[in-house]
A and B are shown apart, each in its own frame.
Chain A
Amino acid sequence: MADPAMPVADAVSLRGVTKVYDNGTVALGPLDLTVRKGEFVSLLGSSGCGKSTALRIIAGLIQPSSGSINVATRNGRSIGFVFQEPTLMPWSSVWENVRLPLKLAHVAKVESDVRVNDALAQVGLAEFAESYPRELSGGMKMRVSLARALVTDPDILLMDEPFAALDEITRFRLNNDLLTLWRRLGKTVIFVTHSVFESVYLSQRVIVMTQRPGRIHAEHRIDSPEPRDDDFRTSVAYAAHCREVSQALMQASGPEAGL
């Protein structure tokens, strides 16, 4: 199924990727990053370090200034993207919002009906199909956004600080749901966040990025056993990982980061 030109085990590989904006701002890189298939990787960094830019480059939403990108997907559109905001169409029902990627790809109605229902069931929103986004809470909107990203059954899920705007209780619940989905569906996930605790809880690997221009400062493997749940959140191992990643982030962000 995979693109034969790519190493079989790799889902995403970036080589020397940089991004310089038109106004001369060097936002990113050079960045070298390889993500294996089925891996859950977090990009961790302070605001403006270019981690969202990296994600958008992987998605093909913006073009890099230099470097090469390889994304192993069955076809060009097999990427799901979850933005920081729910980014739903307010004029459409939940159901229509989730169906959008299929509609744009001209998928037949019978098939898309089944897939939309599946995607909504996966995020636990089956009975809200007819609601409009404004009738939902922030966490539910984010679930709809997740369902929309999953409806095309993508190989790779890119998430750009998706839970940053949610309250802690909702965020913890969505973290757990995301991990359950990841274990069940086996997708490659690249998760951008500025929360040390979230990145350690979710990922197998945390990539700590420097201030602009964003580069990889350190890589930290979280080898705690799966499945993780709320017990892991309060465990000694979790606290130790968080301390190490925090220190790496402090170093990466430089002396002025605390100001």
Chain B
Amino acid sequence: MNGLEPLPSATREATSRSKARWLRVLPPLVVLALGVLAWDLIVRLGEIPPYLLPGPFLVLSTLIADWDILSASLAVTLLTALEGFVAAAVGGIALALLFNRSRWLEYSLLPYAIVLQVTPVIAIAPLMLIYLPQQTAVVMCAWIVAFFPVLANTTLGLNSVDRNLAGLFQLYGASRSQTLRYLKLPAALPYILGGMRIAGGLSLIGAVAAEIAAGAAGAGSGLAYRISESSYRLNIPRMFAALLLLSAAGVVIYMLLALVSHGVLRRWHESALRKEN
């Protein structure tokens, strides 16, 4: 070994990796700063009144001032979305397992699952509110939008089992439950997690859509209700603050699910492995 060797590749790799990380964090932050600046300038220079378009700092101070009301509403909406999400995850996986077991069941029920998926939830919500207690109706709406991606992805995963591995299980006389536990579910796991990642965001959307419908009926306490209530009262800064909270909640939900997915698949699945060039 002499002193003329190039930079050890490990160091070079680390440098380029931290560079890549910066490249992913910095530009979106710059865009955010520029956007907020432009927003503030437009409001100031155009002398736009707050009931038309509040400036970013007014929205922020409203968020702080109204934190008690807004955080309580956020908790209500998040709980609804969580209930819808759990129901969707459990229901979607269970239904996919049933479909996997019986082709007849799949052929009989899948069309209706699709109908439920393609009908806009905002159109179903008012009906739900007639037949069900309000909270149940809202959770139901969250479930309706969120369950299909779990069902579709789990079905795809269960059907994607390596055929030779399935043959191997057959060769060693695996029982149905052994095949499910040791082969089908682990093989489907990346797909299930992908479906759940979509379902997390959708359950929030479903909950908000249903709350808006419920809010139009004059009752409710979730964030979406706060938004429509503020709109009636021309409390536009609070509308923005509530909207900001909703987006933040959606992002946090997505990130949490992505984190869980990464943690579970870290050791073996391509999607969770660090990219090497």
Contact = CB atoms under 8 A, between A and B. Distances in A.
Contact of B172 (A87, A89, A101): A101
B258 interface: no
A174 B267 CA distance: 28
Interface in B162-176: 162, 164-165, 167-174
B28 to A, nearest CB: 32
A85 B172 contact: no
A83 B164 contact: yes
A59 interface: yes
Interface in B254-277: 267-269, 273
Contacts of A61: 167, 170-171
A191 interface: no
B167 A89 contact: no
Nearest to B167: A61
A28 B55 CA distance: 78
Contacts of A56: 167
Scoring B172, B187, B189, B267 by chain A CB atoms within 10 A of each residue's CB, the highest score goes to B172
A81 B273 CA distance: 30
Interface in B147-198: 162, 164-165, 167-174, 178, 182-183, 186-187, 189
Nearest to B173: A77
A87 B165 contact: yes
Contacts of B168: 81, 83, 87, 100
Given A100-B182, A104-B178, A132 B268 contact: yes
**Binding site of B, secondary structure by majority: helix, strand, loop or mixed?**
helix
Contacts of B174: 104
Size category, A interface: 20 to 34
B173 A91 contact: no
A79 interface: yes
B53 to A, nearest CB: 52
Given A61-B170, A105-B172, A85 B268 contact: no
Given A89-B183, A103-B182, A132-B267, A59 B164 contact: no
Please indicate which of the listed interface residues A76, A92, A100, A133 has the most CB atoms of chain B within 10 Å of its own CB. Answer: A100
Contact of A87 (B164, B173, B273): B164
A79 B189 contact: no
Interface string A168-202: 00000000000000000000000000000000000
A90 interface: yes
A104 B172 contact: yes
A92 to B, nearest CB: 8
B171 A76 contact: no
Contacts of A90: 268-269
B184 to A, nearest CB: 11
A103 B169 CA distance: 11
A221 interface: no
A60 interface: yes
A228 interface: no
A74 interface: no
Interface in A66-106: 76-77, 79, 81, 83, 85, 87, 89-92, 100-101, 103-105
Contacts of B165: 87, 89
Contacts of A132: 267-268
A227 to B, nearest CB: 30
Contact of B171 (A81, A85, A89, A103): A81
Interface of A: 56, 59-61, 76-77, 79, 81, 83, 85, 87, 89-92, 100-101, 103-105, 132-134, 152
Interface of B: 162, 164-165, 167-174, 178, 182-183, 186-187, 189, 267-269, 273
19 contacts: A61-B167, A61-B171, A77-B173, A83-B164, A85-B164, A87-B162, A89-B165, A89-B182, A89-B183, A89-B186, A90-B268, A90-B269, A91-B186, A91-B187, A91-B267, A104-B169, A104-B178, A105-B173, A134-B273
